[in-house]
Structure 1
Amino acid sequence: MVARGFGRFYKVGPGPTWSDADRNATRAFQQAQGWTGSDADGYPGPQTWARLFA
């Protein structure tokens, strides 16, 4: 998420454990894709992963 420009949610940086910062960064990424509602829940599904690693 940091490499994609969503690092502002981390105080120190991403770690090995899923956190609220990860969820918030993922939600912001999803919203940047134009997704809303349950499509922007902050949890990476198949479409989120595909776009993150495209």
Structure 2
Amino acid sequence: KKLPLIDEERHVVVKGAHPSPLSAKKFFSSRPFTQINEAVAAQGHEPIDWTIPNLG
């Protein structure tokens, strides 16, 4: 409902399901991190490393 407030000429909008336990499959199957990295690469930047370091 906030999408009309965003200038999509200047910003990339990644749409997907909320990552709650009830809809996690929809969230991850929408590949949001891949979509973000594709947008970042299209701007000529290095992709984001989304890896969480081992805290153990």
> Which structure: greater helix fraction?
1
> How would you bin the TM-score normalised by the shorter chain?
0.3 to 0.5
**Structure 1 length-normalised TM:** 0.41
**Structure 2 length-normalised TM:** 0.40
The higher relative CO (CA closer than 8 Å, separation ≥ 6) is in 1
